[in-house]
Structure 1
Amino acid sequence: MVSNSAGSVTSSAATLTVSSADGLPVISTQPTSISAAVGGDATFTVVATGNSLTYQWRKSGVAISGATGTSYTISPVAATDAGSFDVVVTNSAGSVTSSTVTLTVSSTTTADSALSASVYTAAMTFYNTLSTTQQSTIVKTWDLATARKWSNLPAAMVARNGVSWGALSTAQQTAATSMISTALSSTGVTLWQGLQAADDYLNANGGGSSYGNGNYYIAFVGSPSTTGFWMLQLTGHHLTYNIALNGTYKSPTPLFLGVEPKGSFTQSSVTYDPMLAQRTAFSNLGAALLSYSGAKLSGTYADILFGANGSGSIDGTCPRSYSTVTDHGLLYTSLSTTDQALVQTAIKAYVATQATEYNDDLLSAYLSSTALASTYVAYTGTGTVTANGNYFRIEGPRLWIEFSVQKGVIFSSDIHYHTIWRDKYGDYGGKCL
């Protein structure tokens, strides 16, 4: 700035580039070691000076594909991400390597999980009401083949694990309800009750004995424990919760929700609308996405991609092939602030079914700024939840939600819904990795 009594003027900006005497890059701020929880975020950063710099981050001396910036972010963090990292900074004069730092990963689920302890106590109370035969039926040895034994078809068509609701006495049903109320939020319990009532409605309106709340099942996949891994599986025609306890991830996924009839109905003098939150969230989101040309997928979708569509109409093998999906829609960050809020509302409509401990953990992972920066939204059809063939998707680094509008089955002149919530890392408590 040059000044005199008449005023001042400022020159154009000039750049001072500092390099070592031999022209090599200079690292002025080394990366630092990080501790992160499974499902969280971890970012390494380096600051260097010199001409025309390029960067390559490495793990255990091996270059990481695509990690070529001044920072490197892992999101979500998996247990296998733990290790040593460095970055090589290069220019025409040569390269320098940063100091080696470490990523330490801790599990988000610990043996002293309050929810795990509470569910175990409630599960054993329910278990002790069962007969010897029922006890041997409800507990299944843990393996993925057994865990994947759920479907969107009625239990009369595809068998389920465990003990049926219809086989329980009134006292046993009361103990089961107490256990389920401990494992889920009040929203999740209301949804479970509403979807069982929807099956009763189908039974009474032409569906017959293949439908009804008695065809919903409860299973313990793995022996209940306060420290060892097991799953509380609640499954039937249009609902499956796979609530993992003491897993690597706090997760109730895969979680399948569907409903017929699509909206409000009255059964046994009680009015229900089980999927009101999910239906409303995607209705509002779909209306907003019509304004974004990049959100519409090029193909059509007759059903959800990653539902229970494996061999035998049960869940497919693990992990699912998310990499085969190449049409992702529009980045969340391309939406207006108002429309971003609609995406978050749709996500919360599913996660809110879970107990507070799991809800908070999952929303922290799904709605972190890093995760949202890599989250996509998409639709096909007319953007409504009222036309057969319409489809919506929300896809993040961990999160996968699909919402499909289907032709009615019992009410063939109407529509009904199939939806899925998956966690790419946390399905079956992380056992699909």
Structure 2
Amino acid sequence: MNTATDDAAFRTEVRSWLEANLAGRWAALKGVGGSGSGEDAYDERLAWNRHLAEHGWTCLGWPAEHGGRGLSLSQQAIFYEEYARADAPETVNHLGEKLLGPTLIEFGTDEQKARFLPKILHVAEMWCQGYSEPGAGSDLAAVSTKAVVTSSEGGPGEWVVDGQKVWTSWAQKSDWIFVIARTEQGSTRHHGLSFLLMPLDQDGIEIRPIEQITGGSEFNEVFFSSARTDESMILGEPGDGWKVAMALLGFERGVSVLGQQVGFERELDDLIELARSNGSLDDPVLRDRLARQSAEFEIMRVNAIRSLTEATPGADNVAKLVWANWHRRLGELAMEVCGASALTAEGESYDLSRWQNLFLFSRADTLYGGSDEIQRNILAERVLGLPQEARG
């Protein structure tokens, strides 16, 4: 078996398929989506995502027994590289395909896998993540949303959930939510948590979109008032929620990072082209900063691939620090490349350009998913063994 030959043939297959399919009906979706623009052509991108599924281009790393293609890491990386090169639109099924799906495969019962995996594979049901709360952002162990089991005569029991989640991406477009809830009365921190699967279309759940500085509303508040889900809709055992939640975050910072970098590479390439076309590339300082940004991206990409094959303590935390700050600097650099025109919005309805969206949205990169301060504390205390930070 010649891996290099197989990978080259696979690259040709991916490139040819994208070239043939990003035409006609789908041609207008090239470059659509990305930082701060996730609402753009959402329905059309959903249809494109389902088109990918019909032709076997979703769930690439899932085992074949669960409907995936079981591709190697190198072939998954090739797909994402070619996807970026083709300027294909951002997909909409990230949370289901790359986070919940692998977590279900690892922790789910046979019944749960049979119920949910095919729907995720075919982009038939959309998922959102119920982790953060107003009092539990980067400190996930502080969640206070509660769930208790009630039983009914002659029927299965149900989890009854009360509480609130926030910064819930695409809740308003989703069918289901996976929720970290406290299921043991009197428990604290990492103990007594459970990982529940809940349908969103019910009276006990209210979704309120949050208007962002970009003008969009990708994030939401989600309120649970005696919301219900079947007692069987739990991953792992009651009290295993922290273990399951951390495993899911491992998938988030694992192979799915390769998908994230599709957008990063496209943004960088397009910004360099903009600098070339508007003459700002002639400025030696800007040219040097763009070259540095490009070199840092290549290092970041190689390290992302290496981290998938080498178990290094703290690698996920380092990766989060690196990509978040790289992307934030890219947004700042975009404003300088655009020049004075970056200071004003277009039209009366606050129509932001792609680069203004990038700048504003990327300000949050160093906060969500664990702030820089949290990542550095984890590295210092858990990896380097330094004294714990004083906590009031």
Q: Which TM-score band (shorter chain)? A: under 0.3
Give 1 or 2: higher strand fraction.
1
Give 1 or 2: higher helix fraction.
2
Which of 1 and 2 has greater Rg? 1
Q: TM-score, normalised by structure 1?
A: 0.24
